[in-house]
A and B are shown apart, each in its own frame.
Chain A
Amino acid sequence: MNKPTSAVLGGAAGVAVLSVALLLIEVETRSRIGLFDVVARFVGVPGNQALGFLLFVAAGTFAWPLLFVALEAYLPLGPDPAIRGVGFAIPLWVAFVVLGRGDLSGAILVVYGVLTLFAHVAYGFTLGAVYGRLSGETDARRPMPAYPEEDRDVETGAGSEDR
């Protein structure tokens, strides 16, 4: 699969993980953080949760992954695309925390920061891992030689020997 398509699919998987994680955090914290307001503020439409979330998903699926492919060779922490994805997601998290913070203050910022960092790292990792798997980048850049039979596994799509 070509690189941009793989990246968009990776972005879709990553955004799914990120959205579910944000939703879980939102509910777990009994809506004290108001994460969907944060999302709306982050993408620049404060107060409009539905449009904000839509823009957020669109950016996470198309804009960031394509930027990721364009920058891939220059990103630190390589050569594994999943790790590069994490490195790529950290600045996004910084922007998210700063732009979306709103009037949150005090000790709740600790939880807000840590949990959203986890969610963004999961986004970056998923983006990179799925992209790497679909485009073949992961196998091409594997630091260690794989088992000889695993090359065949990748071709046939059969990962396990116990079936």
Chain B
Amino acid sequence: MSSPLPASVGESLAAAALAGTLLLGAGWLSYRIRSNASPGSRDPPGTRADGGTRTSRVSRLRAGLPYDPVRWLTTVNHRDIGTLYLLFAVVAALWGGTDALMIRTELLTPAADVWDERTYNALFTTHGLTMLFFFVTPAFTGVANYFLPLFVGADEMAFPRVNALAFWLLPPSLLLVRAGLVTEVFGKALAAVGPRVDVLYLLEPPTTGWTLYTPLSATLANPQIDLLLLGLHLSGIATVLGAVNILVTVLVDRAPDVTWANLDILTWTLLTTAGIILFAFPLLGSALVMLLLDRNFGTTFFAVEGGGPILWQHLFWFFGHPEVYILVLPAFGLVSLILPKFAGRKLFGFKFVVYSTLAIGVLSFGVWAHHMFATGIDPRLQASFMAVSLAIAVPSAVKTFNWMTTLWRGRIRLAAPMILSIGGVGLFIVGGVTGIFLASIPVDRVLHDTHYVVGHFHFIVMGVIAMMAFAASYYWFPLLTRRMYDRRMARVQAYTLIVGVFVTFFPLLLLGMDGHPRRWASYTQGMDTNPGWMLLHWIATGGAAIIGASVTLWLFNLVQSMRVGAPVTTGDPWNLKETGQFTREWAWFEERLEERRRRTTSGVEDD
């Protein structure tokens, strides 16, 4: 399976020398940071920085920066790490969003004339991988890191250093997955001032699709795919470490007054999610290693004469379907947490929401083959997977009805988090119901690999998952920054996001029912019989533009409010005390504000 060495020996040596230089540089930097950060070198005992004793140029530079880089690089504080996770997720989301924008642009014209087919294939591959592994998972892990210890009354996550490690594995894994772009940026920057180093242009974006189906992924010569597999493996390790931390924190680090009976809803969902991660991700890791061996060492796990391509699909989807719930359960938890706060009522049927979460956690491992109805697996087996897939709709419906009943006769306040929550539930219903159709074997045979599937799952990933990530960012913004965001701009953003999601993804359902295949850069052939396709694509692209504008508004609002937003002076900016829903994280925030006030009014320096 392995391809002949595509670069000449000289280029390989140049690449090795470059990598060695970079490593040496990184080593020198970390040495400088360590020697600078260790007590004794920077602040000799008994002296202060303003006491006229020696300070190195580096530490003076550090003091002048708005943020201390050493602190952020070495922190083991759960809130700092949570913040890092959230920032990382925003970067990944913008990157993946650019991919999406480019996909939509290609589909404006029937022919593949904006980007070529190969670029298009790379775009949907990297869009999927970036969004699932590097946006949603880190975003919710960030929320867990920041808030879970506050919710369960723990001082820290159970293993703070493991926590830091889990985060710091993510940037290198993202770089591995998208290495080709990074080396090419480097190559272009180098070419602008000096020689063109051909080896830096060797890695091409992977064109396998995020599901990495064999035999395609096993036979493509592009060495980027090996880096992609390693990067995904690394991100899997990071995710498992994070999950173990969450599990142990909830199981053993709870405050005495936090019992299983009064554990809050978000912690329940994060706990279930962490459990699913623990069972699903190691399997992905194993499958990735097997594929890596098939590609490079001549093993035959997924070759026809070995385990066969279907084996990959089984292994991948045994991870892949639980992954769907790993992504969506924290979002459900956020709906269950935020929606009641603005409805003025307690979550209706709390126990049943918890039970349905646990039920989803178990059932999620019994539905994977519904992704494989179009393969040749035994029809009797398919029927059982169809039954379980239909059954898993029940706990999701339980949640949906509980949310609606929570709103019933509530005193609803349409703040931005609430608009996004209600919109999220509505769009989730569209995504969920279209999914029930797909769970039926005969329907799936027709719609499989069409845009219908893309529309269906985007109503969930965009409709409720991303929607609740936005809602959470607004809901906790005062707590995270001690400032309030621009509330009118946020409401506009929330409404436009809902409209944008609907306008983007509903046309995809129609296209799919018309038989428009997904993952095709060009649909010229279909235009003879379906002249409406181009119009539907135009509508979808228009919707994507609305989403883009909405996301820009969000980013602008938060960045701007972080700089100059109105300071928050109360620990209860959402008036939760009124309805008896003042939860522990806000109590913690109130305490900190109070402490801050005491410190400044008494004139005591903070240090």
B596 at the interface (CB under 8 A from A): yes
**Residue numbers in A under 8 Å from B567 (CB-CB):** 144-147
B563 within 8 A of A: yes
Is B189 in contact with A23, judged by CB distance below 8 angstroms?
Answer: yes
CA distance A148 to B602 in the complex (A): 12
The B-contacting residues of A in range 109-163, CB under 8 angstroms, are 110-111, 114-115, 118, 125, 129, 133, 138, 142-149, 157-163
Verify if A28 is at the interface (C-beta below 8 Å from B).
yes
Those of A82-121 within 8 Å (CB) of chain B? 82-83, 106-108, 110-111, 114-115, 118
Are A129 and B77 in touch, CB under 8 angstroms?
A: no
* Shortest Cβ gap from A60 to chain B (Å): 16
Number of A-B contacts (CB under 8 A): 94
Stretch from B106-114, B356-364, B377-385, B455-463 at the A interface: B106-114
Do B188 and A107 touch across chains, with their CB atoms under 8 A apart? no
CB distance from A26 to the nearest CB of B (A): 7
A72 on interface, CB distance cutoff 8 Å: no
**Interface residue from A24, A106, A163 paired with B109 (Cβ < 8 Å):** A106
Are the C-beta atoms of A26 and B192 separated by less than 8 Å?
A: no
Q: Are A28 and B102 in contact (CB under 8 A)?
A: yes
Q: Among residues 96 to 127 in chain B, which have CB atoms less than 8 Å away from a CB atom of chain A? A: 98-99, 101-102, 105-106, 108-109, 113-115, 119
Interface residues of chain B: helix, strand, loop or mixed (majority): helix
- The reply to whether A26 and B188 form a contact with Cβ atoms under 8 Å apart is yes
Q: Are A144 and B98 in touch, CB under 8 angstroms?
A: no
Interface residue A67 (Cβ < 8 Å from any Cβ of B):
no
How far is B105's CA from A56's CA once the two chains are assembled, in angstroms?
28
The CA of A149 and the CA of B563, in the complex, are separated in Å by: 15
Q: How many residues of B contact A (CB 8 A)?
A: 43
- List the B side residues contacting A148 at CB < 8 Å: 600
User: Given the complex, which residues of B lie within 8 Å of A145, measured CB to CB?
Assistant: 567
**A138/B563 in contact, CB under 8 A:** yes
A36 → chain B closest CB, angstroms: 8
Q: Which residue of B lies closest to A129 (CB)?
A: B563
Known pairs A114-B101, A159-B67; A149 contacts B181 (CB<8 A): no
- Which partner residue on chain B sits nearest A161 by CB separation? B606
Distance, CA A28 to CA B102, complexed state (A):
9
Contacting pair B181 A28 (CB below 8 A): yes
Digit string of B71-99 for contact with A (CB within 8 Å is 1, else 0)?
10000010010000000000000000011
B192 near A49: Cβ-Cβ < 8 Å: yes
Task: List, in ascending order, chain A residues with CB within 8 A of B184's CB.
Answer: 27
Nearest chain-A residue to B113 (Cβ)?
A106
Contact B566 A144 (CB under 8 A): yes
Shortest CB–CB separation between residue B220 and chain A, in angstroms? 17
Q: Is the pair A110, B105 in contact by a Cβ cutoff of 8 Å?
A: yes
Within 8 Å by CB of A107, from B68, B98, B108, B482, lies: B108
Q: What's the Cα separation between A80 and B560 when bound, in Å?
A: 10
Given contacts A27-B188, A107-B109, A114-B548, contact A80 B564 (CB under 8 A): yes
The verdict on B63 contacting chain A, using a C-beta distance below 8 Å, is: yes
> B204: nearest residue on chain A (CB-CB)?
A30
Cα separation A49 to B189 with both chains bound (whole Å) = 12
Whether a CB of chain A sits under 8 angstroms from the CB of B66 is yes
CA distance A114 to B552 in the complex (A): 11
Given contacts A28-B98, A50-B192, A115-B98, contact A138 B564 (CB under 8 A): yes
B residues 40-84 in Cβ contact with A at 8 Å:
63-68, 71, 77, 80
Known: A107-B114, A159-B66, A163-B71. A29 touches B566 (CB 8 A): no
**Which B residues lie within 8 Å of A110 (CB)?**
105, 108
- State whether the Cβ of B263 lies closer than 8 Å to any Cβ in chain A: no
Question: With the chains together, A148 CA to B67 CA distance in Å?
Answer: 20
Residue of A nearest to B180 (CB): A27
The reply to whether A106 and B114 form a contact with Cβ atoms under 8 Å apart is: yes
B13 at the interface (CB under 8 A from A): no
Task: Verify if B565 is at the interface (C-beta below 8 Å from A).
Answer: yes
CB <8 Å contact, B565 and A160: no
A7 to B545, CA, bound (A): 33
Shortest distance from the beta carbon of B500 to any chain A beta carbon, whole Å: 14
Report whether A82 and B563 are in contact in the complex, using a CB–CB cutoff of 8 Å.
yes
The answer, yes or no, to whether A64 is at the interface (CB within 8 Å) is no
By beta carbon, the residue of chain A nearest B182 is A27
Partner of B105, one of A53, A111, A118: A111
Contact, CB under 8 Å: A111 / B102: yes
**Is B566 a contact partner of A23 (Cβ separation < 8 A)?**
no
Contacts of B114 in A (CB 8 A): 32, 106-108, 111
Kindly state the separation between the CA atoms of A144 and B484 in the bound complex, as whole angstroms.
11
A142 surroundings in chain B (CB, below 8 A): 564
Taking a contact as CB atoms under 8 Å apart, the answer to whether A23 and B185 are in contact is yes
Bound state CA distance, A115 and B197, in angstroms? 27
Would A23 and B115 count as touching, CB distance under 8 A? no
Complex Cα spacing A144 to B113, Å: 51
A-side contacts of B65, CB under 8 Å? 157
CA distance A144 to B184 in the complex (A): 45
**Cβ-defined contact, B68 with A160, below 8 A:** yes
Q: How many angstroms between the C-alpha atoms of A83 and B560 in the bound complex? A: 9
Interface centre among A50, A80, A111 (most CB of B within 10 A): A111
Q: Given A23-B189, A142-B564, A162-B77, A149 and B596 touching (CB < 8 A)?
A: yes
CB distance from A50 to the nearest CB of B (A): 7
Give B188 Cβ to nearest chain A Cβ, in Å. 6
Q: How far is the CA of A93 from the CA of B262 in the complex (A)?
A: 55
- Residues of B contacting A158 with CB < 8 Å? 63
**Which residue of the partner chain B has the closest CB to A19?**
B189
With A27-B181, A147-B482, A147-B567 as contacts: A160 and B67 at CB distance below 8 Å: yes
Give the chain A neighbours of B68 by CB distance below 8 A: 160, 163
Nearest chain A residue, comparing its CB with the CB of B549 = A114
- CB contacts under 8 Å to A, within B145-171, are none
CA distance A37 to B184 in the complex (A): 17
**Which single residue of chain A is at the shortest CB-CB distance from B189?**
A23
- Give chain A residues whose Cβ lies under 8 Å from the Cβ of B189: 23
Which chain A residue lies CB-closest to B178?
A: A28
Given contacts A144-B564, A157-B63, contact A111 B185 (CB under 8 A): no
Which chain A residue shows the least CB distance to B600?
A149
| Sample of 15 A–B contacts (CB below 8 Å) | A24-B181, A27-B181, A28-B181, A106-B114, A107-B109, A114-B548, A115-B101, A125-B559, A133-B66, A138-B564, A144-B565, A149-B596, A158-B63, A160-B68, A162-B77
The 6 closest A-B pairs by CB, nearest first: A107-B108, A144-B566, A149-B600, A111-B105, A27-B184, A107-B114
- Given A114-B545, A157-B65; 7 other pairs, CB 8 A cutoff: A27-B181, A28-B102, A107-B109, A107-B113, A110-B108, A144-B564, A157-B66
Residue positions of A touching B, CB distance < 8 A: 23-30, 32, 36, 49-50, 53, 80, 82-83, 106-108, 110-111, 114-115, 118, 125, 129, 133, 138, 142-149, 157-163
